[in-house]
Structure 1
């Protein structure tokens, strides 16, 4: 089997890094086409031996990408096309069908109640998405919450497959020496208490709430924000205004895999933390929370579908919390006063190993390829 993965971009983001991790565990030949932004994850894929095609798309309506992708698919001889993220799903599904590809699978990484990939949902976005979805063989939802939203949109239940995001448990396992090296590298005292936030720096992540919460806590407590995004300048101003700029560290985007940048990769920075806080009110999976649990961290979170479906005993160190800076400040103080916990991996994290996700996806591929083609009402052959 030969598979082409089509994705909107390959900068450092959850869906992009999830794709790279997944490709390390899929037992089939895979190539990747990125419509835009051949960023850090593209370089990582190439280092892994994956062929990456950059299609040079310059905007949502740059239709020149259609013949480029069509030529690539014709030349590649792919058995299946797998699309990721909204723009790639819209263009990728359509072009794959025009090229005569038998099976087209899409993964829906980021469909919230009111937004998709950080952008406000509109009737036009929904209509275009649904029109493209009919051209696919199956749509993978990363959580039951996403599957439920797809169903309410009108996607038939038999076309929806739930395959959760996967994590590399071995990479994320806590290592005291990694913790020491990471703190030394980024300039945090070894005895400091470190609250962490992981994710793209956007309004929806509510990291401003976390900064204001830390401002209400003692001076020897630090905040480590891992990620990049359009709100970084605003958040830095918030930290200055709150008087905590000297103990709020912004790391920028960080790769997932430890061998690339020892001491500043995501697992090392997670090891450097004492508590992970996720104030975001709308998550489709909650990958940062699950990764933190895999590192043995206690967690405060506002939304995490990945663990909300599990019994409380599966994640004893996780606590759901809604509210503003005062509520988060009180909760952080309570976790700290309870003292350090053993950095063991709870059941909730063990459920989401990447090997299981890869095996489930192979089942979806096999089913998509086995379905006979039938004419659709629009005249495009669909399974």
Structure 2
């Protein structure tokens, strides 16, 4: 079956049991940090996270100032020791460990443009940071994340994996870049985007070093692995989690390489043109249903062609606080009524479709009309009674 015909078929009807997914392949959904989905920073023993502090009170400026006054040249949190506590306490129940989620986006957002914690950046790349260096810090942070991940992975494999029989990996954010035009420049730009965004982490993890184009464009600002570090990082995973939300188009912007001071995006030397993602807040979301159908169909097609995929997690299970735009985006299968004091949940059309799919039942969009009327009526009655 061709890729095109598969997508056309998926847009009509799809059921899990109609296709040969492996018995151990898992279909799930996810939320994320407690901050995004639970809140309640000071209830039941929970304390403030870095996101609680960032969103409500800024970055620990007083603490940072105290460190400066003390004369500290560095400050650290022992990641490996923390990981061992998790392995020891939860390893009898947790079989899949992800050390860092979307590390590549974390370092760009937190150390280049400064829109997420720890909000470090420098002008002109980030304009609202008290401290930071957008030209060097993203690469330094990424380098140490790779080293921290590899140390935690080595500890798990050496001390816990034999007994617990689990797996350890890392998650990488991976939108898929396509050339905006068929010009040689844009085709090369698309590959350069893959090398910078994905190869930045996958290069060291698979080959023990950064991609050549990163070494060329970043130069001495890109940290170098020692031989021991390279061997330590290389192969330090059992699986790679791929967080994919959308496809983008890339246009060559090699002119940015002429800048005297550059950040990650200028080093990548491309202009990114993003596509629309499904994030509407209504219960009627046939576009999201088509997206999920096509994605699962494409995933199956990839597996038929040799991909060793083991699971699919839809993002997200319910509407929650999005880190970049709060409650403006609603990616959930379930709608959360913020006007209801109990924050009542309502299944969207996509939730009904996904549920039917997981139960081996097919539900095409035409057959979902009555379901949609029912859930719309339920929500309307709930609001009128308040």
Taking structure 2 as the reference length, what is the TM-score of the superposition? 0.26
Which structure is richer in relative contact order (CA contacts within 8 A, separation 6 or more)?
A: 2
Q: Which has the higher strand share?
A: 1
Task: Pick the structure with more helix per residue.
Answer: 2
TM-score by length of 1: 0.26
